[in-house]
Amino acid sequence: MKHVTVKNFRNDLPLSKIEVSEDNVRRTKQKAGLEDLKGSIKKYGLIQPVVVIEKNGKYDLIVGQRRYLAFLELGKTSIPAFIIEPLDKTSRKIVSFGENIQRRKLPYQDTIEACDFLYDKFTGSGSQKIKKIAEDMGISETTVKKYLARRIMPKKIQKYVDDEVISDDIAYRITSAHFPDTTKIISIIEKILKLTNSEKDRAADFGKRNPEASVKEILDYAKNPPKFFEITVYVDPETNSDLEELSSKKKKKISTLVKEAIFNYIDEEFEE
């Protein structure tokens, strides 16, 4: 593949002159997480310029489609951009794919530690702290609550977890779904204590998907769920070993880990 050569940098390339190249690999869910990105841009500006190739007085956008869309939605008229030398179609695809692979999110544990640090640093109520963390980190408040579930959990529920009256997993999920309504969090958890593990799991899932649902609606769903579908996933021995290690480390069943991964992926892909 030909090396990428930057021929120019424009701090204010007009958006009206940019066209999304057919070689941009981000073809689906282009607006996933766009609100978070817009929030980050409003606070910090654009940290990473887009990449374009000049073509007949216009510019093909090779890298940075979501950044381009965010600038459009923010009502901006220009965007910082690297203008690179022309590439063949294959090289364009590789550059676009490689940049998207490199721009992975901050690792999960690092994000928890960053949120935890800021929660200690900021002043105000729990809700105010979470809002400020979300604004500063450019992520949603829902995501912050997920990372800070233990910190924002009502003291009474923390004791239930410590005394192993309720699993930490169920308590974390219910807390992050319904914070800052501590009365509701306590009510849900106390009412599901005598339910089966499957019913507790359904209560947590339903609350996550429907945070405005009443305690009664959550309990009714837990006890009388609609039809569920079973999905079978085959993995190699090495992956299974990794899952067993994670299961032991996080004290969660493998099925719970897999389900969480699916839910998180869906939330990320469809978040507007």
Domain at 6-102, CATH class: alpha beta
Residue carrying the six token digits 């910190």: 151
Q: Which residue has the higher pLDDT, 57 or 24?
A: 57
Domain 229-272 belongs to what topology? Arc Repressor Mutant (1.10.1220)
Give the 3-state secondary structure of residue 158: helix
Give the global pTM: 0.53
Render pLDDT for 170-202 as a digit per residue (tens, 0 to 9): 998 899 899 999 999 999 999 999 999 999 999
Structure tokens at 211: 């945070």
- Does residue 272 surpass a pLDDT of 50? no
CB atoms within 10 A of CB 61: 24
Per-residue pLDDT, averaged over 149-170, amounts to 90
Tell me the sheet residues that pair with 61.
20, 52
Amino acid at residue number 143: T
Q: Where are the domains of the chain?
A: 6-102, 108-228, 229-272
Domain 6-102 shares a fold with domain 229-272: no
How would residue 223 be classed by pLDDT, with cut points 50, 70 and 90?
very high
For residue range 47-93, what is the model confidence (pLDDT) as tens digits? 888 888 888 889 988 888 888 999 999 999 999 998 988 777 666 56
